[in-house]
Amino acid sequence: MTQGWFNPLVWMAFMLMGADMEMSCDERVLKELGSSTKKAYSMSLLSLAAQKRIIGGSPLAFGEGDIKKRINNVLNFKKHPRSVIILAIAVAVILGVCFSSNKVTAGIGDYYFYDFSVNGLALGADINEIDTSSLTPTAPLDIKNGYDYNFEEVRFSVNKETGRLNKMIVGVINGAYIPSVIVNRQEGPVYINKSLTNIEEVIDIFGEGKRGWQDREQQLRYVEYIHKEGRLSATVKFVYTDVEFDEIKHRLIWVIAESNLPYPYPDYKANEVQTVEPLIFTSDEIDLINLGTLAVDTYMNYLMSGKTEVEERIASYKLNDISILAGDINEFCVALNYDFTTDNDSYMNPARGAKGKGTWTDNYFEIRVKYAYDNVYSIKSIGTGGGGQGLKPYEPVE
């Protein structure tokens, strides 16, 4: 035996493993023959050890040298009641299920990523229906397999045969809702009603995904989620920085999505996704009343459009009054009083006491608005109270 081959740590591990195997064999014999044989079995072990027989240079029965421990184990052996065994098996099964469901790729629950949408751009979207008028063109990336369409806010590619978006990278540092995310579950599209700013918030929603390095030099990591359909798949990466950025730890930088699924996908719900997208408008105004009025117009135009179900669609509205509740140019809330008219018999709005055709006056609600980027604002929430909660007190500009 050469010194290079012999490793004392490996030998020690082998010996410990052998001892465990020996005692397991002893316990198996006692279970089969009964506890009444403990004394006779112990004498057999002692007799065997005394002979010190060696076969082929290896200890017989994996190592008789630790015979004292084996005999003590035999004499102290107790056969567990059936109820204890059943309970142990049940606990093992439960733990097995828990650990097996905590795999890195099992955190997505029943979310489907085939038409994943981030900041208004969705996998599978028709190139003819993508509005890029508010985006800023930029030079293509000088990389292999770059993107067909390049903007400062987003880059994306389109399948040449189907004309559907199949690859995109979205910058989310300054994006509306940072980012606004829509995925699907079995019951339909789900809008993630939360401003995602760091990777911990992503994991809270989707669970643990596959982790990896995006760029070691820039200290960028990612968490990845995959939706598979046979050999085809849709993949979404949330890329974040390991360095504190804008006073936020693990700040999201990009969202990267790619799919080789066929589009239109059999269950594709692009039209439904659009109905739950955050509402966004553009303005270079700095007066909050004027911005609030634009937000009201944006929301009311949505209620009058085909994106709203017939049962909820209105025909016209009149803004009677608007005021600032709280906030500043970065995020604020307005309260308004308005009248609205419907022209279909199926209209139903119990909260307004409205049903069918007619005009309903003196209605109240609040709209909360948030600055996104480059004069783009998004409507963050709509309700009848509490919209100004957590905002700074409003201070009129003199």
Tens-digit pLDDT string for the chain (398 aa): 344 444 444 444 445 445 555 666 666 655 555 655 555 656 665 555 544 433 333 333 333 445 656 666 655 655 555 555 555 555 555 444 444 333 323 344 567 788 888 877 889 888 888 888 777 888 888 877 789 999 888 899 999 888 999 999 998 875 555 677 777 766 566 767 667 888 998 888 888 889 999 988 889 999 999 988 888 999 999 999 988 877 889 999 999 999 998 887 766 554 444 434 567 788 899 999 999 999 999 999 988 988 787 888 999 999 999 999 999 998 999 999 999 999 988 888 877 778 899 999 999 989 988 887 678 787 877 877 778 888 889 988 76
CA 205 to chain centre: 4
- Please state, in angstroms and as integers, the Cα–Cα distance from residue 310 to each residue in 91, 137, 278, 345, following that order: 53, 37, 20, 10
Closest CA to 281 of 293, 261, 268, 298: 298
Give the ranges where 53-149 is alpha helix by DSSP (H): 67-75, 82-100
Q: pLDDT tens, 336-349?
A: 999 999 998 888 88
Whether the Cβ atoms of residue 333 and residue 368 lie closer than 8 Å to each other: yes
What is residue 62's three-state secondary structure?
A: helix
State the pTM of this model. Answer: 0.47
Closest CA to 174 of 153, 188, 194, 192: 153
What is residue 41's three-state secondary structure?
A: helix
CA 145 to chain centre: 27
Q: CA-to-CA distance for 20 and 11, rounded, in angstroms?
A: 14
Sheet strands side by side (includes 220-229): 149-150, 154-158, 165-171, 252-259, 232-241, 220-229, 210-215
Residue reference for tokens 């008219």 = 341
Whether the Cβ atoms of residue 274 and residue 125 lie closer than 8 Å to each other: no
Q: pLDDT tens, 157-172?
A: 999 888 999 999 998 8
DSSP assignment of 108-122? TTT-EEEEEEETTEE
Report the run of H or E that residue 382 belongs to, with start and end. strand 376-383
Residue reference for tokens 């994996």 = 62
Bond before 264 cis per omega within 30 degrees: yes
Whether the Cβ atoms of residue 113 and residue 119 lie closer than 8 Å to each other: no
Whether the Cβ atoms of residue 152 and residue 135 lie closer than 8 Å to each other: yes
